[in-house]
Amino acid sequence: MTAYLWLIPVLPVIGFLINGLIGRRLPKRAVAGVACGVVLASFVLSALAVTELAGMPEDQRYMENRVATWVPAVDAGGGQKGLAVDWLFTLDPLSAVMILIVTGVGFLIHVYSIGYMGEDPGFWRYFTYLNLFMAMMLTLVLGGSFAVMFVGWEGVGLCSYLLIGYFYWKPDCADAGRKAFITNRIGDLAFVIGTLTLFAWFGTLEFRPILQAVTAGQGPAWVLTAVAICLFIGACGKSAQIPLYVWLPDAMAGPTPVSALIHAATMVTAGVYMVCRLSPLYVMSPTALTIVAVTGAATALFAATIGLAQNDIKKVLAYSTVSQLGYMFLAAGVGAFSGAIFHLMTHAFFKALLFLGSGAVIHALHHEQDMMKMGGLKKHLPTTYKVFFCGWIAISGFPFTSGFFSKDEILWRAFQWSPVIWAVAAFTAVLTAFYMTRLMGLTFWGRTRMDHHTEEHVHEVPGVMKRPLITLAVLALLGGFLSVPAALGGHWMPFTLEHWLEPSLAHPEHAEGHGSAAAEYGLMFLSSALAMLTMWFGYNLYHKTPEKAAAWKQRFAGIYEVLKNKYWVDELYDAVVIQNFYRLCRAAYSLDVRVVDGLVHLVRNLTIGFSYLSVFWDTWVVDGLVNLTGRTIRTSSGALRKVQTGFIQSYASAMVFGMFVLICLYMYVS
Amino acid sequence: MFQGLLSTIAYVPLAGALLLLFFPKDSKKAIAWFATAVAGVDFLISLPLFFQWDTSLAGFDPVTLERHSWIPSIGAQYIFGVDGISALFVLLTTLLGVIGALSSWSAITDRVKEYYIFLLLLQTGMLGTFMALDFFLFYVFWEVMLVPMYFLIGIWGGSNKLYAAIKFFLYTLFGSVLMLLGILAVYFYYGAKTGVYTFDIVLLHTLGADPAFFELSRWVFWAFFIGFAIKVPMFPFHTWLPDAHTEAPTAGSVILAGVLLKMGTYGFVRFNLPMLPESSRLYAPYVLALAVIGIVYGALVAMVQRDWKKLVAYSSVSHLGFCMLGVFALNVNGLNGGILQMLNHGLSTGALFLIVGIVYERRHTRLISEYGGLSKQMPVFATIFMIITMSSIGLPVLNGFIGEFTILAGAFQIPADVAINVLGLTLGGKFWAICGVTGIVLGAAYMLWLYQRTMFGGLDNPENQKLKDCNTREVLYLAPLVACCFWIGLYPKPFIDILDKPVAHIVEQLHATGQGYAELGK
Amino acid sequence: MIPTSHMLVFSLILFTIGMVGVLTRRNAIIVMMGIELMLNSANINFIAFSRQLGDLAGQVFSIFTIVVAAGEVAVGLAIILALYRNKDTINVDEVNIMKG
């Protein structure tokens, strides 16, 4: 299987090419068949590869597939390192987890899309882009070097751009796509700086050699810290952390399955994956880890507060995603890298489920996304309600759901690192439970606020959309059992994610295991209690007494406004960054036209001035001399011709006079 | 590959131009076909330079090197030769030549014969410049390039064509005259030193290893610098470019952007670096500063352009700033990346100008605000435009990424003492690279904004609602460029193999005198 | 003997009278007469010196002069006749066609 690792990302490329080139002329079934088929094939291959990997002894779980040279090594003399890049795909426990999530959840979403996008005329285009995305995401996680990973990194950015702007005739969508791409690029700027600094130090871009060198202590600490921070900024861009998260809520303009796949389960997790992949590097720099943790925690809290006041169902889920990504970075920052990946996995399950479920609601209500116009859908959409219920309890951390296990792991490790951070994270968990309950209340419970027309046309989703939903619901409920913590009997489970990921991830010095089991149980109990209390409270508020909710909104109107307007961050960015940027651009153009080109024009005008001077000189001085000569001759000849009188006697007199003068001279001389 | 191949490649267009004189001026189709055929033939006979190139060569290919006596009294010979670097540029020139000719079929309807004659003459001029290995011959061809371009802009250009043509001509002529001064300085120095007065470039390159040459080389460096920097164009000598590009006809813009701009950077690589190594190293910080300013400034100004072609013109300034960053990183990665990026720029910006040309032919306006929502009406065009946009902003899998990434890798290896002092701050080393990296964000910003304003959004303008998508000929001339974008992006090995040894040789020559950078500063 | 100086003075006086006549008289024939007088004064000069120096050349030359004078008078009178026929006058003050 090692030699065929490259097929895993390449199969979706084949789907992309087929659908891209001839998809327009194929019937929808064929397009869907090709698209879903290649993803399923990738999933099967991934499963085979992972099985093979699992069969290897623990400390040798590494498969390397060096397909071809991309940029050949150049002949560099004098200690210079030539850039050499190969198409290198590697599989280790970490990327094994990732490819299974990506292909598995990806496949489910592809199937779902057949139903969701069934009436869209650009069906073939949608699946073309979606397949390309799968290929790029798989390249990202299977990449064995920064260069190959960067191909995937930028590639998923491109696909995100194309898919967010899928309805390109709508200006909002086009804007959102562009915002996503450019915000990502700002992160990529830092990413490239980090990558190339590593290249300048270690002479290679491949992960294995770099991480081995870093672990061995090569490279000064400040360089490693700087690189880690730069790479993290790149991750902030891709995974929507403060301050580069602003593209994610806007990205909801794209089709809902896209939001599920790209902006919940896979692309946004690329940053988390990258940090975990480079855990040996981060472990060498506690400063960087602190920044990661603090940023993660702050983002988690910040986004959760905004989620409380949003009315668009997808926006709530978007901010929820930003918040949960914050959790993942928090986990990474406190050293619980496997916890981050675990939460990544469970989040993929329940967030994809929630998004697809919301897609079902939106689809049923004919593209209505405002929760204020929903309500009481429980009886209209029973299956959707049930799966949504599963997702709700999972994300809120109801005991023994997947979200419970992963979130608790993070909270426990956070507590060990710093109780303050734990408090922030725990409070965020409360908020999470609350806004999700609010979402359930506004959408499914209580009396309906739909207008009659919509209510008549409400219908449950077709089977093709139901089955992925149910699969994801099952995973959301049971997925947590893949990594039961030791305190709850993880030792007896045949498989724990933490153990599986050990070879791939580094552990910081101050690592885990300091707290007592009692503390762990206590925290677990506390968080479960908080979760259930919040859910019950929210249920009462939104189901039983919705008027109270409205009253509360009135009481806290000021705060509500701030949250609803997302702290006016976008407006702030626009005023401070974007407008000034445009001013700078206009100033630069002005400078170019007036000053730089002005200098050129000045030279031109000086030259023309000089040429006028030359004309003057030539006409009056040079030519003047010529004219002067002529005039002199004419004047003198005018004077001299007076001698010619025409009278003979005057000529004769002249002769006589002349003779006289000559004779005098002759006599005088001799 | 045989002796005389290079002259054949260079003079086939000239022969074509002469034959065109006999065509009656009304048979426009025949003229267009013939000219395109000539350009096509020229391209085909230049292909051996790529496919049969000996990649172990570090210098000029001895098989195709031609040397004939020309003006012995002053030491000027007729020497044509290529090394890996110029071979790639020759191919770029011939490819863009045939594409330019093909794209002009529907764009030029007036005075067609003269147009194609000038186009072919321009080809000869450009090819001769890349192949000439004698300074005198080089200068002759360098000047020969200017005249047809002037006419192309001045006769078939846009509304402000005369201003643009004259500005282009005089500005670049000014630069070339200074370059001539430099050439003569080197000529006389070499003659005084060895007693042999010659313009032979290979011989004059040996001056690079002569420590006594350093004093004079400082002046020569700046003389050459002005000449080449105007052509590149580097900030602040770039203001002729927006006007020339905007007013030129489509094929003129393509060739101007694709090839003529490369003359400047080629000049730096062929002359400044190997022949004046210490000066290059000494003055590298200043050149890097201008290059980096060019990257950022070009992008900033491109953001606020309302004219489509002017936007692409300023993007050229930005991209060539990248190339100059690579070249003056003075290491293997930077130089490889810089030269590769020059090729990439020729391909992708050439394609961008062709794309503008397609819509301009249909709507006769270059104002971006006149367009919008074209994706719906012209899907093939939109796809090609998207691919080229992505190439321009350096998306991996396409050619721009390879060039940019290699340049940045080289830039990150610039030693910290290559620095300038500004207001007490020493800016150097990684600073250049970090400034250069901002170019990737700015590039994405203006290109995506352009794409959105023209292609996305509603198809509101009624005049856009009946536009036809690309016809076969248009796809035919864009396809090779798109294909090359993917080729270089996915499999750059053949190109880098060709460049590898010559670049290593140049880097070696840069350190020929073995003086460290610090010692040069006196 | 008559001293040579007497003859020279005599010749001078004749020459002067002739010259005055040439320069001041209006009638062309009178001008011709004045010219004759000047020529004859030159003759007397020749003879005076021939007598003094005992050389016959002077007398021979004076005969030449007489012949030349005769020829010159003939031509001159012919010119005056032609002038009279064209201009109807022989007043030299009225003839200045050659004025520059």
A648 and C23: CB-CB below 8 Å? Answer: no
Predicted local confidence at residue A80, as pLDDT: 61
How confident is the model over B487-492, as a mean pLDDT? 92
B239 and A592: CB-CB below 8 Å? Answer: yes
Tokens of A19: 């659908």
Write out pLDDT tens, residues B423-476.
Answer: 777 787 888 999 999 988 999 999 999 999 999 988 888 888 888 888 889 999
Predicted local confidence at residue A83, as pLDDT: 79
Residues of A in contact with C95 (CB under 8 A): 646-648
How confident is the model over A243-251, as a mean pLDDT? 91
Nearest by CB to residue C98, choosing from A646, A652, A656, is A646
pLDDT over 60 at A501, yes or no: yes
Q: Which of A16, A83, A183 to mutate to test the interface with B (most CBs of B within 10 A)?
A: A83
Tokens of A409: 């792991």
Q: Are residues A152 and A294 in the same domain?
A: yes
Predicted local confidence at residue B179, as pLDDT: 95
pLDDT over 90 at B98, yes or no: yes
Predicted local confidence at residue B110, as pLDDT: 87
Write out pLDDT tens, residues A568-601.
Answer: 888 888 888 889 999 999 999 999 889 988 999 9
Q: Are residues A576 and A466 in the same domain?
A: no
pLDDT over 90 at B312, yes or no: yes
Q: Are residues A546 and A599 in the same domain?
A: no
B333 and A69: CB-CB below 8 Å? Answer: no
A431 by DSSP, 3-state: which? helix
**What's the CA gap between B282 and B413, in Å, rounded?**
17
Neighbours of chain C (3+ CB pairs under 8 A): A
Query: Confidence class of residue A515 from pLDDT cuts 50, 70 and 90?
Result: low
Nearest by CB to residue B456, choosing from A81, A174, A600, is A174
Nearest Cα neighbor of B429 from B335, B507, B517 is B517
pLDDT over 60 at A511, yes or no: no
Return the residue matching tokens 């789907």. A15
Residues of B in contact with A86 (CB under 8 A): none
C99 and A653: CB-CB below 8 Å? Answer: no
Q: Are residues A515 and A435 in the same domain?
A: yes
Predicted local confidence at residue C27, as pLDDT: 93
pLDDT over 90 at A297, yes or no: yes
Predicted local confidence at residue B511, as pLDDT: 77
Q: Are residues A577 and A556 in the same domain?
A: no
Tokens of B454: 């023209």
Pairing of strands B425-428, B419-422: antiparallel
* Residue pair B207/B186 in contact by the 8 Å Cβ criterion: yes
Chains B and C: 3 or more CB pairs within 8 Å of each other: no
Q: Which of B448, B499, B507 to mutate to test the interface with A (most CBs of A within 10 A)?
A: B448
Q: What is the ipTM of this complex?
A: 0.89
**What's the CA gap between A19 and A294, in Å, rounded?**
44
pLDDT over 80 at A543, yes or no: no
% residues pLDDT > 70 (chain B): 98
Residue A167 lies in a domain: yes
pLDDT over 70 at B516, yes or no: no
Query: Confidence class of residue A74 from pLDDT cuts 50, 70 and 90?
Result: confident
Distances, alpha carbon A668 to alpha carbons A661, A663, A664, in Å: 10, 8, 6
Residue A283 sits at φ, ψ, to 5 deg, of: -60, -30
Residue A151 lies in a domain: yes
* Residue pair A369/A314 in contact by the 8 Å Cβ criterion: yes
B80 by DSSP, 3-state: which? strand
Nearest by CB to residue A646, choosing from C24, C31, C97, is C97
Predicted local confidence at residue A370, as pLDDT: 85
A182 and B441: CB-CB below 8 Å? Answer: yes
Q: Which residue has the higher pLDDT, B517 or A271?
A: A271
Whether the CB of B182 is below 8 Å from some CB of chain A: the reply is no
Residuewise pLDDT in 10s, chain C (100 residues): 789 999 999 999 999 999 999 999 999 999 999 999 999 999 999 999 999 999 999 999 999 999 999 999 999 999 999 999 999 988 998 888 888 7
How confident is the model over A73-95, as a mean pLDDT? 78
Q: How confident is the prediction for chain B on average, in pLDDT?
A: 91
Predicted local confidence at residue A76, as pLDDT: 59
Predicted local confidence at residue A176, as pLDDT: 92
Return the residue matching tokens 């004077």. A639
B500 and A189: CB-CB below 8 Å? Answer: no
pLDDT over 90 at A227, yes or no: yes
Q: Are residues A560 and A575 in the same domain?
A: no
pLDDT over 60 at B521, yes or no: no
Residues of B in contact with A192 (CB under 8 A): 405, 408, 437, 440
Residue A122 lies in a domain: no
Write out pLDDT tens, residues C25-45.
Answer: 999 999 999 999 999 999 999
Write out pLDDT tens, residues A121-180.
Answer: 888 999 999 999 999 999 999 999 999 999 999 999 999 999 998 998 888 899 999 999
Nearest by CB to residue A181, choosing from B444, B456, B501, is B444
Q: Are residues A548 and A611 in the same domain?
A: no
Query: Confidence class of residue B522 from pLDDT cuts 50, 70 and 90?
Result: very low
Contacts of A479 (CB under 8 A, 6+ apart): A345, A346, A349, A402
Residue A499 lies in a domain: no
Task: Measure B406 CA to nearest chain A CA, in Å.
Answer: 7
Q: Are residues A529 and A442 in the same domain?
A: yes
DSSP state for residue A541 in the 8-state scheme? I
How many other C-beta atoms can be found within 10 angstroms of the C-beta atom of residue A424? 20
pTM of the complete model: 0.86
Predicted local confidence at residue A527, as pLDDT: 83
Residue A225 lies in a domain: yes
Lowest model confidence (mean pLDDT) among A364-378, A539-553, B57-71, B505-519:
B505-519
How many other C-beta atoms can be found within 10 angstroms of the C-beta atom of residue A629? 10
% residues pLDDT > 90 (chain A): 43
Q: Which residue has the higher pLDDT, B280 or A499?
A: B280
Write out pLDDT tens, residues A356-400.
Answer: 999 988 888 888 888 888 888 888 888 888 899 999 989 988 888
Residues of B in contact with A76 (CB under 8 A): 331-333, 504, 507
* Residue pair A573/A246 in contact by the 8 Å Cβ criterion: yes
Whether the CB of A639 is below 8 Å from some CB of chain C: the reply is no
B417 by DSSP, 3-state: which? coil
Predicted local confidence at residue B514, as pLDDT: 60
Q: Are residues A542 and A620 in the same domain?
A: no
Residue A162 lies in a domain: yes
pLDDT over 70 at B127, yes or no: yes
Whether the CB of A602 is below 8 Å from some CB of chain B: the reply is no
Residue A661 lies in a domain: no
Number of compact structural domains in chain A: 2
**What's the CA gap between A316 and A304, in Å, rounded?**
9
Which residue in chain A has the smallest CA separation from C94?
A: A647
Q: Are residues A613 and A540 in the same domain?
A: no
Q: Are residues A241 and A389 in the same domain?
A: yes
Nearest Cα neighbor of B289 from B214, B225, B216 is B225
Contacts of A136 (CB under 8 A, 6+ apart): A9, A151, A152, A155, A156, A158, A159
How confident is the model over B114-123, as a mean pLDDT? 95
Q: Which residue has the higher pLDDT, B248 or A552?
A: B248
% residues pLDDT > 90 (chain B): 69
Residue A81 lies in a domain: no
Q: Are residues A424 and A345 in the same domain?
A: yes
User: Domain span at residue A521?
Assistant: 145-487+509-564
Task: Measure A71 CA to nearest chain B CA, in Å.
Answer: 6
Which residue in chain C has the smallest CA separation from A650?
A: C23
Predicted local confidence at residue A369, as pLDDT: 83
Query: Confidence class of residue A655 from pLDDT cuts 50, 70 and 90?
Result: very high
Query: Confidence class of residue B519 from pLDDT cuts 50, 70 and 90?
Result: low
Neighbours of chain A (3+ CB pairs under 8 A): B, C
Helices (H), B135-260: 135-156, 161-194, 201-205, 214-231, 240-247, 250-255
How confident is the model over B355-378, as a mean pLDDT? 90
pLDDT over 60 at B156, yes or no: yes
* Residue pair A346/A269 in contact by the 8 Å Cβ criterion: no
